[in-house]
Amino acid sequence: MRVAFLVAPEGVEQVELTEPWKAVKDAGGEPALISTEPGQVQGFNHLDRADTFPIDRTVSASTAGDYDALVLPGGVANPDALRLDAGAVAFVKDFFEAGKPVAAICHAPWTLIEADVVRGRTLTSWPSLRTDLRNAGATWVDEQVNVCTAAPGTLITSRKPEDLNAFCSAFLKEFDS
């Protein structure tokens, strides 16, 4: 199972990248770090700079066809930057058009809203996105993890770092289907 992790060059919530990454590796999968620019991405622990991580490929050199699934880590700045990048938005939309599973945590659904893939779906997120998601046509629920199987493709969402165990367990189950 090849899994793309899409992040902006700066602003990803580190634990929302590293824990799902570890879960994919531990399950025998091949995670790949994708970003809008080559080089490294800067992780954050909330508002404090954390570690940097090397990019495997850029969005412009990647397609949904290269991967079996997509993970969108959160952080406030990360999805905010991604939703302003046309290539990143198209990359996300391509996973849905191909019917491939997508997992998003915390603020990551902002990128999903921009890709116009939440209409008619049920999902969860960081609570401050509730109104944005409803305005985009989604049904928002306050749950540790939500799995929406409305076509096309399965969408697994979660609220926050404290929900990572449930999130990883749910997306691994769906990615393995």
Active site residue 168: no
pLDDT for residue 172: 97
CB 145 within 8 Å of CB 111: no
Is the pLDDT score of 177 beyond 80?
no
Active site residue 46: no
CA angle 132, 134, 136 (to 5 degrees): 70
CATH number at residue 85: 3.40.50.880
Is the pLDDT score of 33 beyond 80?
yes
Is the pLDDT score of 151 beyond 90?
no
Report pTM: 0.98
Full residue range of the structural domain in which residue 39 is found = 2-175
Q: Which are the contacts of 69, defined by CB distance < 8 A and separation ≥ 6?
A: 1, 2, 3, 4, 95, 100, 101, 102, 103, 171, 174, 175
Count up the domains in the chain and report the number.
1
pLDDT for residue 28: 97
pLDDT category of residue 126 using cuts at 50, 70 and 90: very high
Is the pLDDT score of 173 beyond 80?
yes
- Catalytic: which of 46, 106, 148, 168? 106
Please, where are the H alpha helices in the chain?
14-26, 77-82, 86-97, 109-114, 130-135, 164-175
Is the pLDDT score of 1 beyond 80?
yes
pLDDT category of residue 137 using cuts at 50, 70 and 90: very high
Q: What are the tens digits of pLDDT across the range 45-102? A: 999 999 999 999 999 999 999 999 999 999 999 999 999 999 999 999 999 999 999 9
DSSP code at position 138: P
As a whole number, mean pLDDT of residues 17-30 equals: 98
- Catalytic: which of 46, 107, 148, 168? 107
Mode of pairing for the β-strands spanning 102-105 and 10-13:
unpaired
pLDDT for residue 4: 98
The more confident residue out of 153 and 6 is 6
